[in-house]
């Protein structure tokens, strides 16, 4: 295929033929899920492909100020970037031929402990052996929005501390005040059931989790599947050049073949001497 394209371009240069109807095509790099050197020198974010769509914003309303912003910190030759309610990425700051660049986690849900938003859970990152990478982001009070530290307690499972003035108030991460009136009433009801020993602690936790799911703070199985399928749907509508499936690649190949056939016909019509005879045999370029 490449030989054919080069041949056509060569003919254009030699004959200095201007094809007015030919459209300009913008070339782009084919992205990879994890950059291991194939796209050396490209933009760090360009090569990253998520497995799942980020969940919608949820949690304390004042944290919405962080949406659309990203914060980075370099630790031990790795640049970590947190985009709250979007993703966490890691980029190796190295001059070697294959520096690592990948997704550590995509925003999914909150980890709630009692009545407190304990941490943001970024899951379904790039594959790591038999599992996907994930990040637990803990929020701490601080004067400025910044990443304080990143560690890897277990293989491919990361812990990040993000400091922000948005959580300095003692009630800034409480869950109950953020719920709708109907969900607060349900919580009050199960508190009474637990107090009166009408339900077990296990039953209480199950009902409380259901409340958090209805609030959108914790994902149920159906919502997780929706986020997975959303990415698959985006892949089917990927721009030309992003061949994420064999079907997309085959379709693009067919379009390219038709384009070459059309250009060949135009060249044959225009590359003629005054008597109408062809200046060269186009078929020789395609053997």
Within a domain: 189: no
Within a domain: 107: yes
Domains: count for the chain: 1
* CATH code of the domain containing 128: 2.70.130.10
- Give the per-residue pLDDT at 49: 83
CB 77 within 8 A of CB 91: no
- Give the per-residue pLDDT at 265: 74
**What's the pLDDT tens digit per position in 115-167?**
999 999 999 999 988 899 999 999 999 999 999 999 999 999 999 999 999 99
* Interatomic CA distance for residues 17 and 169, integer angstroms: 71
173 has a pLDDT exceeding 80: yes
**What's the pLDDT tens digit per position in 249-270?**
666 677 677 778 777 777 777 7
6 has a pLDDT exceeding 70: no
- Give the per-residue pLDDT at 214: 96
- Give the per-residue pLDDT at 246: 58
Within a domain: 78: yes
Within a domain: 186: no
* Interatomic CA distance for residues 214 and 211, integer angstroms: 5
27 has a pLDDT exceeding 80: no
Within a domain: 130: yes
Within a domain: 252: no
* Interatomic CA distance for residues 106 and 276, integer angstroms: 63
**What's the pLDDT tens digit per position in 174-214?**
999 999 999 999 999 999 999 999 999 999 999 999 999 99
Within a domain: 262: no
Range of the domain at 151: 31-178
Within a domain: 70: yes
**What's the pLDDT tens digit per position in 59-96?**
999 999 999 999 999 998 899 999 999 999 999 887 77
pLDDT band for position 279 (cuts 50, 70, 90): low
């Amino acid at each position: 295929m490449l030989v054919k394209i080069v041949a056509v371009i060569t003919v254009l240069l030699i004959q200095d033929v201007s094809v007015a109807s030919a459209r300009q095509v913008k070339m782009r790099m084919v992205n990879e899920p994890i950059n291991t050197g194939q796209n050396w020198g490209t933009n760090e974010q360009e090569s990253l492909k998520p497995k799942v769509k980020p969940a919608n914003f949820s949690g304390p309303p004042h944290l919405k100020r962080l949406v659309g912003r990203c914060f980075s910190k370099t630790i031990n030759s790795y640049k970590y970037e947190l985009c709250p309610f979007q993703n966490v990425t890691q980029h190796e700051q190295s001059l070697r031929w294959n520096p690592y660049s990948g997704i550590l986690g995509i925003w999914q849900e909150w980890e709630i402990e009692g009545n407190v938003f304990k941490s943001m859970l970024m899951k379904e990152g790039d594959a790591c052996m038999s599992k996907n990478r994930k990040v637990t982001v803990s929020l701490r009070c601080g004067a400025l929005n910044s990443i304080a530290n990143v560690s890897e307690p277990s293989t491919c499972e990361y812990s990040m501390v993000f400091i922000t003035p948005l959580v300095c108030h003692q009630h800034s991460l409480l869950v109950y005040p953020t719920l709708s009136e109907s969900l607060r009433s349900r919580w009050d009801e199960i508190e009474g059931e637990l107090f009166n020993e009408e339900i077990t602690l296990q039953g209480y936790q199950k009902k409380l989790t259901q409340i958090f799911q209805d609030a959108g703070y914790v994902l149920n199985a159906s919502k997780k599947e929706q986020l997975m399928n959303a990415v698959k749907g985006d892949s089917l509508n990927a721009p030309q050049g992003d061949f994420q499936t064999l079907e997309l690649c085959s379709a693009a190949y067919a379009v390219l073949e038709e384009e070459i056939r059309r250009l060949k016909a135009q060249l044959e019509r225009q590359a003629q001497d005054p008597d109408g005879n062809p200046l060269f045999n186009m078929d020789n370029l395609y053997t």
